Structures are given as C-alpha cells and as structure tokens.
Structure 1
Amino acid sequence: MSNVVSVIIPYCEEFTPRLMLEDAIESVEKQSVPTEIHVIEDPEKRGPSWARNKGMQQANTRYIAFLDADDLWQPNKLEEQLTAMENTGAGLSVEGNPEDSNTFITNRINESISCPTSSVTIDTNKVDVQFRTELERFEDHLFMIEAALQSDVCLCPDIVTVRKHDESLSNDGDHKLWYQERLKLAKIIETEYPNISGLSDSIYSRAYYSKSRHHQIREEFPEALEYARKSIKHQIWWKPVAVIGLSKLGKYKQSISNIVNS
C-alpha cells in the first residue's frame, strides 16, 4: 500500500496529558502504511473542529485520517481501511460492523452505533467536508453524516482503542450544553438536508429525553414529564415513555408524603 496518509491530531494540554499524545503518535508510527503526522496545538482552546480543519488545510495527501490525542490505533488500522476503501469505492471509512451508507446515516443520527472520530479516514477525491466550528459537541457526528452523503462508507471493526480519563473533553458533564448542542445539530439537519430532514426528529427526541431524564433523577417530576412528552412528540420510543411512568409514580409518592407529613 503506497498511499501516504496525513494524520491530524488535535491537541490541548489542558484536556490530554502529553504522555498520552506521545502514545498516540507512537501508534501512528507503527502503521504498515506511510504517514505524515500533523499535531495541531490548540493552547487557546478554540476546539477540536478548528484544529482538525487547520490540519486538513495543511495536508496535501489524498487520504486524511483523524486521531484524538488520548486514543490509540491498532497497527493495521490504516491498511485495513485503505484496502476496504479501494475495494468498495467508499470515500469514508470508520470503525464498526459493515452496513450500507443509508443505514449508517440513520444509525449515526439515532446514536445506535459508536464511531470514534479517531477511526475516521477520508478520501479527499470523493469527500469535501469541514468540521462545523459552530458546534461544540456532535461536530464529529455531523462530519460523518455529511461525508456519507457525499460518498459511500465502509466500516472496519476493532481498529481503535478509546482511552478514558478525567480531563477528557468528552467527559464534560455540562448537561445543558449537551442538550443545546443536540438541538443545534437537529436544526442543521432539518434545514440543510431536506432529503433526510425526517431523521432530525430522532435528534430532537433524544435531546428532550436527556432533559427529561436530568429532571427525573433530581425528582423534578413536572419538568421531567414536560420534556418526556416533547420527546415522544418527535419519536415514540421506550426511554421517554419510561420517564413518564416513573415521573407520574414519583409525583404520586410526593403527594402521599406531603399528606402524611402535613
């Protein structure tokens, strides 16, 4: 396999220890295909979308792959993907079990498959997509969806090791931010991609469900019921239905407790 692959690694020391970055680089150097590594330092915390876009501007190779500084690649990761892309004609390759592009887009929107950004490899002859800097979360979801809309996708299992640690940006527990970013993602798909805009209902539903679950855990049952009902208006599925049942039961128990204690 003679193709050189540009590897883009966003890096901010506040979110990832430098030793993890060194491990990530080592996993690239162990690849069986030639690579060109671009570590994009982001001390001003402009975000991974900014860093990945800058890396793509620097790259001058046909194939570009992305690796987060806290993740690792399997030694044959790129070779497997380039072979699969050549055999299928796909312009996008990610980690996962094989499925067609339409199924992939639906499953990515439904969050029913996990495709780490560190698994993404693109063929720039077939895919011309940027990461949306207006999204603070789910920018990788949208990048993959937009790439899959431009070209076929092929999936390769077990090619990335995702490492969890406390400082990771993905461990941010800001519930309000994740809720708002889901709504922003849904709005983008609804307005910019009318052919798949019906799938935005799934994102809206998951946004409202996450809000309802947040309130239910805190025993704020009227608010939990409000958002769970909003969720099932967009899509009926078992999780918001369960929140409705549990919240009604919680309200009843609160009423009984108030009567007993009055």
Structure 2
Amino acid sequence: MMLKQRVWTAVLLAPLALAGLFLTSSDVFKVFVAGIVLLGAWEWANLSGLTSLSSRFGYTSLIAALMAALNYISPQANFISYLSVAVLFWLIALFWVVRYPVTGAWSSVWQRALIGVVVLLPCWMGLVSLQSLPSGSALMLMLLLLVWGADIGAYFAGKAWGQAKLAPNVSPGKTRAGMWGGLAACAVIALGFVIYLELALLDGVYLLLLAMIAGVASVLGDLFESMLKRHRGIKDSSQLLPGHGGILDRIDSITSAAPVFVLGVQLLAIS
C-alpha cells in the first residue's frame, strides 16, 4: 500500500513540479519555488519545536516576509553574499552531524528556528539565481539530476556493497558504499553536461569537481534533516505527500546542494 501511494504521488506531482521549474516566467518561478519553500517552513517550525498552529503560522509568515524583502533588495537575483553564508553554515552542519548524538548550537527551539532561516532562504535564493541565467534551464536540470543521481546511485550501491555505515547515529540506512555510488552517478551526469555545454577542459574539470561537491552537500542535507527528526522523535517532517512524508523529506538534499552548486556556477561564470 505504501509503495502504491508513493508511485501515485510521484506520478501526479512530477509533471507539475517540472512545469513549474522549466515552463514559467521569472516572476512566476519565484512564486512557485517560494510556495514550496513556505510549505517546508511550516514543517521546519515543527522540527524546531514550534508545535502550536499560531507559532507555526508565525514562523512561516516570517520566512515569507524575508523572501519578499530579499526580492525587493535584490530583484535581479544578486544573492552571492547570502549564498556564501549558507555554504559556511553547511560546513558547520557537517561538524554537528559527525558529532551526533552530542548536541551543539542547534538543540534549542530558537536555535533550530534560526537555522531554518539559514537553510530555507538560500535554497530559494539559489534556485532563483540559477533560473535567471541564460543557461538556467540546463543548469537547473543538472542540479536536480545531481541530487536525484546521488540518491539513486547511493540506493543501488548501498544495496549491492553496503556494509560500513556512513552515519549510524543519524541515519542507519546510509552506507559509505552508497555515498561513493551516488558520487559516481554525479560524475557521469556532470560529464554529460560538460559535453552538452561545450566547456573548455579546465572549466569542464571545475564543473566535474563542483558536481561532486554538490553531491556530497546533498547527502549532508539529508543527514542534517534526519538528525533533527531523530532529535524531535519523529519519522517524517509531515504527512503532506502520501507515501513520501513531507515537503522537507523531498527537498532536504536540494536545500544544501543548491547554494553550493549555484555559488560554484557563479564563480565559474557559466551563463
């Protein structure tokens, strides 16, 4: 029954998501992604420990207000400095995940609520920035394929060769072999886009390295959300998507991979 729910949910939502990402104007795209992020904010409020309807609504409204303010300040999607802060945060998050179950500066309600701002806003900024580039559609597709490829590659490699656990205290199902399998998938995807974008040798090598880093970041995003769910004692961020859990369970890898990938693309000056 659970598998049937997952399949039908994916079949119904996938065309809508792809249309929203690739077949809309810049302004519609901003609103579309903002809607997804705000659903994630509603769930993040619960991860933070804000359980009442009023506090969750207030937190979601805060995220919406911050997105509107950023859009007003930087209407041309010039978010580089903000994305740099996000990348720095994910380096800190890696330290927290490695040390778990030792708690750190994320264990209180207000700390996790603040972290949600640092996680969700740069995800929106990164996707908006990427879509605004001349080759934005191709790069957006590459980012999504990297995230999906890292997940699918990890699943099959983990099934075939997974013995040593990657982060047993956070997510016992993830293995080191799975991570390497996911990175191998990312490398194949990156090589395809190097050829498609007709990049020079050095730029191609850079994009390949960036793809691998984004793949690692995607795994970190998944692990970080798993850590917070384990701390809160919940299995899924919500039951919004039948068979799939919540929105955060679907976009956790993108929240970490998007800022890293987009910042790297901007530094490489791929347009």
What's the TM-score once normalised by structure 1's chain length?
Answer: 0.33
What's the TM-score once normalised by structure 2's chain length?
Answer: 0.32
Larger radius of gyration: 1
